[in-house]
Chains A and B, each alone.
Chain A
Amino acid sequence: MAKPASETSRDSPRGPVWPHLRGALLLLHLVAITLMALPAPVGSDQRSNYEGPEAEAELQALSDGLARVGLDVPPDAIVDWSVSTSARVLALRRAALAPFQPYYRWAGTRQGYRMFSAVALRGNRLTVEVDRGDGWELLYLARSARHTWRRSQLDHELTRSMLDRYTRKRYRKRYDAVTEWIARQVAVDVPDAERVRVSFRHAPIQTAAQSRAGEIPPTLQRRTRVVEVRR
């Protein structure tokens, strides 16, 4: 390896073995972090992750692309293949990572990056409403400049990460627990609150063409949950 003039080679003050040991340890570190970071189909071995409009659109696009090169593979067959292959790959990955698990745990070297690998086609905005006995009043709407109850708490990236996950059906129980927590906070902040309604305002993300035309896609309320306020 080429050595720039600014680098110095010198004998180790810790004896002749240390440079070899250090070289081996550095190599192990590089192997550990590389194995952890290598692309892996995490979650692709579960059929539930192929449900929903984004996944279905991706599968259809892939099926159409294969059809254009003469391969007739329907979306269901792609899912079957992907689930079984992912399960095998993930089993192999688990075996490869097993010897390094203590290192990941104690040195904090766990790293896997799947950032924005698939972007959403639909968006969800959390809404919190309160009923003081005369109808629903909007307290919080995610990304709204007007309805800003506990905004710093609910807009923080940690909370966003959690809520984004809880828009999925399989986290229903966790979502319910969050709504209970929100109701408890409303009870503290709004002394005359009787009921709290928590839901997601769900809508397709405006396409670029819709954005230019000023078209607003239809919105649905999802995961609506009403909690009686207990004091």
Chain B
Amino acid sequence: MIGAMWGRWVEATSRTEGPETMALFRIGIGLTLMWTVVTAWTSGAVDLVWTDAEFGGYRSLHESALVGWLGGASPRVVHGLLGGSLLGGALVAVGLGGRGSAFFALQAFIPIARLNSHANGSFEHLLTNALWLLVLCRATGAWSVDQRIARRRPPEIGVWARWLVLAQVILVYGTTGLQKTSSSWTPLGGFSAIYQALRDPAWQRVDLPWLGWLAPLLAVSTAAVWLFEIGWLLLPLLLWWRATDRGGRLGAFVRTHDPRPAILAFGLAMHLGILALMQVGGFSVLTLCFYVALWRPDEIRGWTTGRPR
């Protein structure tokens, strides 16, 4: 039994497919890294949160071994690492240097992301996760400088790379949803979580004192967002039903009614709303990059050539 399951796992992880999905993911992640670095740099927040007290910051920063080895979080070291991250992000986005550029970007950004644990959001971890996935797979097989230089047919890459991207985003949403346990996410608290989050000065972009008039709509949104996040845990099942003839009537329904455009539409609405109304950095754009893995490379190739599959 275990031997048969292992055999199926090895066979599944040995399959290959075109590189287009991972190439799009790579471009999105590279650009998001660049955006993250540029906004931190130009805002001046770096001087406050990522500079050691010895060099003009507000506290001692000893949380990164590499930064300690380089002589501490001085402006020279921190700006050097930010420059490295920016260069790495640009190389990843244009697809120059293969996995090496993703590794370089990752190793430049990890010390920055770990420098001050009092000043970060969870999205830095998701960004380093994404960069690691780009180290693991050959994401420069399409729409890249590497591919232009090589002048060869786009290579086949392991289908597991796209699965890992999907696994990551399923974990992000699923575990986030499971941890929304406060009463404001439930009828006990009147599904008031989104209203309250949008009125919390810690994260709001601008205060919206009239938002109470939209409370019923926001209560529906609160319930819908929670269900959407938890619902990602069912995605593997939906994708499996679509690829097989299993699942009974529900399976037949998802084969005739592709749920992915609806998932994308809801995710876009939610994340663009967060982007417009809350200041949480590159989280929304970064998370949306993962959605690309919902589509197979042949489908993406179909859109770009005007021949949908």
A residues whose Cβ falls under 8 Å from a Cβ of B? 1-4, 6-10, 12, 19-20, 22-23, 26-27, 29-30, 33-34, 37-39, 57-58, 61-62, 65, 107-121, 123-125, 142-143, 145, 150, 152-153, 155-166, 171, 174, 177-178, 180-181, 205-212
Contact = CB atoms under 8 A, between A and B. Distances in A.
A153 B48 contact: yes
Contact of A181 (B57, B171, B178, B179): B57
Interface of B: 6, 8-18, 39-40, 42-45, 47-50, 53, 57-59, 106, 109-110, 113, 116, 118-122, 125-126, 128-129, 131-132, 135-136, 156, 158-160, 164, 167-168, 171-172, 175-176, 178-184, 188-189, 192-193, 195-197, 199-204, 206-207, 209-213, 215, 240, 243-244, 279-281, 296-298, 309
A162 B129 contact: no
A208 B196 CA distance: 9
B182 A26 contact: no
A108 B179 contact: no
A122 to B, nearest CB: 9
B211 A19 contact: no
A4 to B, nearest CB: 6
A218 to B, nearest CB: 16
B6 A159 contact: no
B197 A116 contact: yes
Contacts of B50: 158
B188 A157 contact: no
Contacts of A123: 199-202
Nearest to A103: B132
B213 A117 contact: no
A150 B47 CA distance: 12
Contacts of B109: 108
A211 B212 contact: yes
Nearest to A113: B176
A181 B58 contact: yes
A120 B210 contact: no
B202 A107 contact: no
A117 B8 CA distance: 38
A113 to B, nearest CB: 4
Contacts of B6: 23
Nearest to B167: A30
A124 B201 contact: yes
A26 B13 contact: yes
B44 A150 contact: yes
A8 B16 contact: yes
Contact of B201 (A113, A121, A142): A142
Given A181-B57, A211-B210, A6 B18 contact: yes
